[in-house]
Amino acid sequence: MSKVATAASPGEIIESLPSNLPAPQLSAVTPSGIEVPAVVDAVMAHDLDPGHPGEPPFTRGIFPDGYRGRLWTIRQYSGFGSAEDTNARYRFLLDAGQTGLSVALDLPTQCGLDPIDPIARPEVGKVGVSLSSLAEAEVLFDGIDLSKISTSFTINGTAAIIYAMYCAVADTQGVPRAKLTGTIQNDILKEYVARGTWIFPVRPSMRLIADTVLFSTDETPRFNPISIAGAHVRDAGATAVEEIGYTLANGLAYVAELLRRGGDATRFARRLSFFFYVHMDFFEEVCKFRAARRLWPKLVEERFGITDPEAQRFRFGVVCGGSSLTAAQPLNNIVRVGIENMAAVLGGAQSIFTCAFDEAFQIPTETSAEIALRTQQIVAYESGIARTVDPLGGSYYVEWLTDKMEQETRAVIEEIDAYGGVERAIEDGYLQTRIAQRARARKEAIDRGHTVVVGQNHFRRPDQKNEVGEVFRIDPQAARRVVEKFTATRVKRDQACVAVGLERLRAAAQTDNENLMPILIECCHAYASVGEMVSVLKSCWGEFQEPIRL
């Protein structure tokens, strides 16, 4: 979901019109820099047998029957204001046919701040729901049976705490943890280079992630404890090739950390999942997923000796939209999201979120959210493209481009290896610099008109003004109500239980390898707040300091 803010109201957004732009041209080069021949023949596509779906190397998919066995999860990203506000939106989406939840959390929750924190107050409920303690989580999922719904959380710095909170909600609902399904994003490495909602230094953050994966393997075996995410790296400026390369490199770093902690590679690798954006170069997007699905099994076998096909499967979800959407002529975004949705399906995604057309400048209205949901349903049930597995497989161009994407992705991973690995590249600021350079180049290409964005830099109307219809406005009293409820919860809870739980957390955090998840769940049951738990961990580990590279 885009988090672009604007000082003007959505209906008044007017972008400056670039002058002296060149006439729009079709490019012979993909956004990743791969030069495409006018025609690809059988000789160029030297291997036209990509194998069978459900079998290594999984080029054509991880399931033999594709979507005929089970449709992808339709999971719309949503959350704003208070837990009550968001619960109402979830019920609306579920009634409209959504099959999974995707929880958007506000910036204070993402950054480990309670709503009463002076820094947090202006952002409470703005880009997601405020979720400060188990009391709010109980309201958020009120009337939603966690044994029957798959829930995804876009959360990283506080992912272990939110996961603990979800387990605690299941406990209060009487739902066995083994029945929980869904995902926490929990990919801190990409936060350091793309989104910025990191809290702790790299090494203790890796420890927390290992805790969640190892705990989940035993306690919530159907829940994905990490979704290794290239999505935000892509929206921050990376190309499709770099999105896959950086993401797989991060995945390899997590596997190495889990092995260091004594984890069973075959068991925990089955719970790893991935998450990407889908942008507008249709065939490059399809082929990046085919290439990644084929490359991941090779990498984990080469580096870690993982040979079990179940542990090699590359499971991934996607967002269709993000920075590919424009505030200019926003209704055009409906077409963009439809194209991206089809690319995601043809690429074999396991779960899909389609952005609403107005997400470039506001939280979606119910109308725009429903159109985004209907887009998936039309693609699923009317287009026919989900009828057979990998229907583009065997195309000269698709097989040729899949090969090229795999080769270029390997080169990106080898570059990171040569630098000294992902963790060092982040601590030194190397990857952050690379992404920033890409973002600048992409913006310059759009500003100069070399990259065509219909309605934004080409094919504009004179005196262009956005006409968005409905404008979504957060209840201005929502933040006040969140703060009042937070204060009331602190008064009612058992302070002695909170103190005991937080002290246990402090002691365990000062050890090397004690798993913190059981203690975080204990703290949640005592109604300790996100901010209190984060403060304890900060006192033990400190905070990440952004490296500066000139």
pLDDT < 70: residue spans in the chain: 1-19, 47, 465-469, 549-550
Cβ of 205: how many Cβ atoms within 10 Å? 25
Phi and psi dihedrals of 222, rounded to 5? -100, 0
Rounded Cα distance between 406 and 400, Å, is 10
How many CB atoms neighbour CB 315 within 10 A?
Answer: 21
- The 3 state secondary structure assigned to 379-423 is HHHCCCCCCCCCCCCCCHHHHHHHHHHHHHHHHHHHHHHHHCCHH
pTM, two decimal places: 0.92
Buried b (16+ CB within 10 A) or exposed e, 390-424: bbbbebebbbbbbbbbbebbbebbeebeeeeebbe
Structure tokens at 237: 């400026």
d(CA 372, CA 269): 32
Radius of gyration for the alpha carbons in the chain, expressed in angstroms and rounded: 23
Pairing outcome for strands 316-320 and 226-229: unpaired
Q: Phi/psi at 183 (nearest 5 deg)?
A: -155, 140
User: Residue 12: its pLDDT value, please?
Assistant: 46
Domains of the chain, earliest start first: 63-383+390-447 (3.20.20.240)
Distances (CA, A) of 397 to 354, 377, 471: 27, 28, 43
pLDDT tens digits along 381-430: 999 999 999 999 999 999 999 999 999 999 999 999 999 999 999 999 99
How far from the centroid of its chain's Cα atoms is residue 539's Cα? Answer: 29
d(CA 311, CA 258): 14
DSSP tag of 258: H
Alpha helices in 117-239 (DSSP H): 134-140, 159-173, 188-190, 202-219, 231-236
CB atoms within 10 A of CB 323: 17
Which amino acid is it at 340? E
Tell me which residue of 179, 175, 197 sits closest to 188, measured CA to CA.
197
What are 273-283's pLDDT values in tens digits?
A: 999 999 999 99
Dist. CA 256–CA 250, nearest whole Å? 10
- Find the distance separating the first CA and the last CA of the chain, reported in whole Å: 31
Distance of CA 218 to the CA centre of its chain: 24
Give the span between the Cα atoms of 323 and 31, in whole angstroms.
14
Amino acid (1-letter code) at residue 434 = R
Q: What is the dihedral of CA 108, 111, 114, 118, to 10 degrees?
A: -70
DSSP code per residue over 84-124: HHHHHHHHHHHHTT--EEEE-B-HHHHHT--TTSTTTGGGT
Q: What are phi and psi of 295, to 5 degrees?
A: -80, -40
Which residues partner with 298 through β-bridges? none
Helix (H, G, I), strand (E, B) or coil at 285: helix
The tokens 């049976």 sit on which residue? 145
